[in-house]
Amino acid sequence: MTDEAVERAHDAEEHKKSYDAIMGAATEIGVPFSLALTMFFTGLAARSGVLMAILLGVVVYVFAHVIVKLFFSHPH
């Protein structure tokens, strides 16, 4: 292999690591947090009270995190 081919292979490997890290953070943290925040504000808008809105947010976060881990996180 030439030096250029070796460098391209190394760059592709680095890009794959970066992609996997970004997608892991987005799916395991970002999606559940966004859904929980949405549910929290929905609970506030529905006048269910602050404590109920917090509880709804926590329940949705845990549920979404479990769903993401079960169905959308694939080991390589």
pLDDT at 74 over 90: no
Is the residue at 61 inside a domain?
yes
Largest separation between any pair of C-alpha atoms in the chain: 66
Q: Name the domain count of the chain.
A: 1
Is the residue at 34 inside a domain?
yes
For the chain, give the mean pLDDT: 87
Is the residue at 53 inside a domain?
yes
pLDDT digits (tens, 9 = 90+) for 33-60: 999 999 999 999 999 999 999 999 999 9
Cβ contact 55:29 at 8 Å: no
Is the residue at 76 inside a domain?
no
* pLDDT of the residue at 38: 96
Which residue range forms the structural domain that includes residue 54?
3-71
pLDDT at 4 over 70: yes
Among residues of the chain, what percentage have pLDDT more than 70?
A: 93
